[in-house]
Amino acid sequence: MNPREKLKAIKDPVIVHYARSPFDDRRYNEVWGLFIWHNDDFISYKVDSLKEEAEVIFAFKAELELLKAKGGTVIHWNQTSNEFGPKHIANRYFDLTGRYLELDYGKDAINLAYEVIKIYGDDYVDHPRLDKLAQLNGWAWGTERHEPCPLFDHNRTALLVKIFYATLNGTLKTMNSEYRERLLRTELLEQIKRELRNADAEERILTRREVIKELDIHPNTLTNWVRDKKIPYTRIGRRLYFLKSELLNLKY
C-alpha cells in the first residue's frame, strides 16, 4: 500500500498535539496542554497550574484510550522521542506522581511528518516545516510561544488536520523542484542586481554575448569552455552569467 492510500484507509482519524516547556530549558519538562481533534471537534486539556498537571495528563490518556477502543487511529507530527511525544508525557507523569503511566498511541499510529516525506520527498519544504507549509498553503498558523496558549495550540492542531487532509487528497502545496528553481532564480537575479549596483569596472557581470565580444572568441569556444568547466559562470534558468574580474585571470 502506497503512503497516500495508507492515509485514505484510515476510517476514524484522531489527531493529537501537545505543548510543553521549551526544549532548551533542561530544568523543566512541563506539559502545558494536550489537544485532540476528532470528528471536527477540538478537545482541550489545559494545564492551569502545576498541581493539575498530572490530572490533566491522566484525563488526556483516558480520552485517547476511549477513542482508540472505538477504532480511532492516532495521528501525530514527529512525537517519537523521549523529549517530545508519549514517552515524554509518561515520564513527566512519573516525575509528578511516582507512578508509571502506560501511554501508547498504538501500533497503528501514524507519524504524519514521516508519511508526508514518503509522498513528497525529504526536501518537500524548508524548516521549520509546519510554518513553511502553512505559508505555502495560505493557512493561519501559530509560532512558538513561551506561555501556554490554548488558542495557539488549537491553531497548531488545526494545521495538522489541514495537512492531513491536503496530503490525503493530493492538494498539499510543497516546495517542489519547479518552485525551488523559481525561488532560486529570483534570489540570483536579486543578487546580480545588487552586484551590478555596487560593481566597479572589473566586477561587472557579463552575459554570454558580452563575454564573446570581450574575449573576441567564437561562440563555440565559449560553449566548449563552459562544458569543460574552464570558465566560472552562474546559470539562471537557461541563461549564463560571468564575472568580468574572473575573465581577466582566465588563461586560454
Cα(114)–Cα(127) distance, integer angstroms: 14
Average pLDDT, the chain: 85
Adjacent-strand bridge partners of 207: 241
Q: Which residues of 2-22 are buried (b: 16+ CB within 10 A; e: fewer)?
A: ebeeebeebeebbbbbbbbbe
Q: What is the pLDDT of residues 87-128, one digit of tens each?
A: 999 999 999 999 999 999 999 999 999 999 999 888 899 888
Closest CA to 47 of 18, 74, 24, 71: 18
State whether residue 53 is helix, strand or coil: helix
Cα(57)–Cα(248) distance, integer angstroms: 69
Q: What is the pLDDT of residues 3-30, one digit of tens each?
A: 899 999 999 999 999 999 888 776 678 9
Among the ranges given (24-28, 33-37, 165-169, 200-204), the one the predictor scored with the smallest mean pLDDT: 200-204
State whether residue 161 is helix, strand or coil: helix
User: Grid coordinates in use for 146?
Assistant: 513561551
The span from the first CA to the last CA of the chain, in angstroms, equals 58
pLDDT of residue 247: 79
Percent of the chain whose predicted confidence (pLDDT) is above 90: 48
Answer for the pair 36, 23: CB distance below 8 angstroms, yes or no.
no
pLDDT beyond 50 at 205? yes
User: Grid coordinates in use for 44?
Assistant: 482541550
Task: Count CB neighbours of 99 within 10 A.
Answer: 9
Q: Which residues of 116-131 are buried (b: 16+ CB within 10 A; e: fewer)?
A: bbebbeeebbeeebbb
Cα(165)–Cα(40) distance, integer angstroms: 12
CB within 8 Å of 149: residues ≥ 6 apart: 19, 142
Closest CA to 33 of 21, 19, 23, 43: 19
Question: Which pTM does this prediction carry?
Answer: 0.70
Residue that has been written with the C-alpha cell 477540538 in this structure: 42
